[in-house]
Amino acid sequence: MARTLLLWLTLLVFHVSHSQDSCASTSGNTKVSGRVFLVNTGFAPIPAFSFNSPISISGLVIRRKKFSYEPDFALGFNGKPWIANSWFRFIIKDNAKFQLIAGIDPFLFFRKRVDLEGDKIIQAQRNLCGGIIATYKSHVPLTVEYRYNHGFDKQLSGHFISLSSNMPALGERIRLRISPQLFYFNFTGKMDGLFGSTAMDISYKCMPVSLYLMGVLPMSVNFPGTSFKWNIGIVYAF
């Protein structure tokens, strides 16, 4: 059950660190953009539930006026599916200084299990997540996000809150973008902790491919064995 939460948190760090605008194709009032991550290893805040193998995370954003549909899918290079999100979001308020967005995400987590006949199978387990995102727009934007996840099929349920920012890109030809984040979660089964993370994007001018580096540091947790973790990969934006 803990793997559901921890992979979900890993994907959230990816999402927050890449929430800035990307190139988008436009058809009428509909805009479409997306990203594909290829990462050397997928890790989680608790080492026992890290995913020590390469992964790909593919996501789309389909936006029309105040509504958007944002699916993403995480798949191991070994062919094992991990998680499938389907975010539906609505912009409640958006002006020059402030933005408020609400969303709901019925998502699936794929878990290995052994059936009654002793065969290993992959089971899709259901979750429902709701959240709200408030962003103060400035030269250095500040974002506060709250999520509540309800796990069906005996999965974890609980609260998540984060404070994050996307720093202005540095450089003209070679561009460096730094995205710090502080997040806290409190889930069933005495799963709670405070973590800090920083993601960096290094790209060349307007090329759609960039180098990605992320680190996560436990600050205050109630479970043993946590330590600093990092990974590296490439991102393709379209």
Task: Decide if 8 is inside a domain.
Answer: yes
pLDDT band at 4 (very low <50, low <70, confident <90, very high): very low
Q: Identify whether the C-beta of residue 71 lies closer than 8 Å to the C-beta of residue 83.
A: no
Average pLDDT, the chain: 83
- Confidence (pLDDT) at 48: 42
- Counting the structural domains of the chain, the total is 1
Question: Is 25 a domain residue?
Answer: no
Give per-residue pLDDT as tens, 144-163.
999 999 989 877 788 999 99
Q: Please name every residue paired with 39 in a beta bridge, in sequence order, or none if there are none.
A: 55, 233
Q: Three-state DSSP class for 116?
A: coil
Q: Are 212 and 41 in contact (CB under 8 A)?
A: no
DSSP H helix total and E strand total for the chain:
1, 13
The pTM of this model reads 0.84
Domain encompassing residue 105: 2-19+30-237
Rg of the Cα atoms in the chain: 18
Query: Does any domain span residue 108?
Result: yes
Q: Is residue 24 part of a domain?
A: no
Residue partners of 118: CB distance under 8 A and separation at least 6:
none
Q: How confident is the model at residue 21 (pLDDT cuts 50, 70, 90)?
A: very low
Alpha helices by DSSP H, listed for 104-233, are: none
Q: CATH number for the domain including 52? A: 2.40.230.20
What value does the mean pLDDT take over residues 170-191? 87
90 in a domain, yes or no?
Answer: yes
Count of CB atoms situated within 10 Å of the CB of 230: 14
CB < 8 Å & 24+ apart, contacts of 69-77 = 70/103, 72/11, 72/15, 74/7, 74/11, 74/42, 76/42, 76/51, 77/53
User: How large is the average pLDDT for residues 171-191?
Assistant: 87
Cα angle 161, 214, 104; round to 5? 35
How does pLDDT run across 26-70, given as a tens digit for each residue? 666 899 999 998 988 766 554 444 556 788 989 999 999 999 999
Which pLDDT score is estimated for 225? 60
In angstroms, the first-to-last Cα distance of the chain is: 34
Q: Would 107 be classed as within a structural domain?
A: yes
